[in-house]
Amino acid sequence: MQWYGDNSELNGIWSAKLPDILLFGGIAIRKSSIPALKQVITRVKKRYAKDTHFPVKYNMRDLERWFTDRGQEELYQTLLQESRDWRHRMIQDALACDFKIVLACNNMYGPSADRIRESKDMVARFCFSNALMRVALYVQESPATTCDVILDWPDANRHAIYTDEYRSAYTDGCCHDYPLNKYYSGPLCELGFSDSPFFTRTEDCALLQFSDLIVGAAREFIEYCLAKKPIDAFGVQLTRYLVPKFRGYPHRIIGRGISVSPPRGDLQKKLFKGMVELRNNE
């Protein structure tokens, strides 16, 4: 098994001066299923260039410099202008592949910018911890005997946010900041997880790029739940297609496929309501 984790930030309904919701996660996929998903990604990219070793993201504007530095401005503009088409095609074609989506969504504390800055690293680690625990439980449920965790390279090289948490989960089965909070799965070392996470850049990893598409769509779904997007928004409709791919489908997506913190709070209630509305709109 491999889990590809990416993150995104967004503003909630608490009038925060900075993004106050953190979303983290991506796809969990058996190694035997990876070639089929990579073929889907490559097939869609081939519609735009013979050499398919170029990156894509939900927000293509994040990659403008990558294409400019390599003299591929024309390809970038084409991908940007046709982003709805290739994102839709890639998601739709990938539905035939075997993978599960595991995400965590955390609200950072307080509306003030200072409090958000102070809590950001801790919340990022806690969000990663929530998602990692759900991946571990999924590994327990599956026939998998090993699991690798592949993460996008952290901003400003802040890898300790993830390595500290992973070390505690791997050796002791507990959270780094709150050792009394135990992983329901037990220590990762007993489930066949690698002894450390692997870091790479999304630009160099097709499956991290695919996870970025999923996180981007899920972000718009959360914005819909917070009354910031209509139900027919592009990312919301992509999430609708992806519903059967979430861990916990059909009855426990919120909690198992999308872990929400704080639990039983306003954010979780809004996501649960939004998921019901989305599925009723199928």
> DSSP alpha helices (H): ranges in the chain?
34-45, 64-69, 73-81, 83-94, 113-141, 160-171, 206-225, 234-242, 266-280
User: 190 is written with which tokens?
Assistant: 């007993």
pTM of the model: 0.93
> What's the pLDDT score for residue 188?
98
CA-angle at 99, arms to 22 and 218, nearest 5°: 30
- Looking up tokens 């073929």 gives 39
* Half-sphere exposure of residue 151: CA atoms within 13 angstroms, side-chain side: 24
Cα separation, 1 vs 23, whole angstroms: 22
- pLDDT tens for 138-196 read 999 999 899 999 999 987 788 999 999 999 999 999 999 889 999 999 999 999 999 99
CB atoms within 10 A of CB 232: 10
Domain ranges of the chain: 2-37+94-280
> What's the pLDDT score for residue 18?
41
Checking if the pLDDT of 14 tops 50, the result is no
Helix (H, G, I), strand (E, B) or coil at 225: helix
Provide the β-strand partners of residue 151.
Answer: 5, 199
Using the CB atoms, write b or e for 210-228: b if 16+ within 10 Å: bbbbbbbbbbbbbbbbbee
Using the CB atoms, write b or e for 245-256: b if 16+ within 10 Å: bbbbbeeebbbb
Provide the β-strand partners of residue 46.
Answer: none
Helix (H, G, I), strand (E, B) or coil at 27: strand
Instruction: Please tell me the total number of residues recorded for the chain in this structure.
Output: 282
- pLDDT tens for 206-235 read 999 999 999 999 999 999 999 999 999 999
The CA distances from residue 272 to 80, 114, 206, in Å, are 32, 30, 31
Burial of 240 (0-12, 13-18, 19+ CB in 10 A): middle
Strands 21-29 and 258-261: unpaired
- pLDDT tens for 30-52 read 999 999 999 999 999 999 999 99
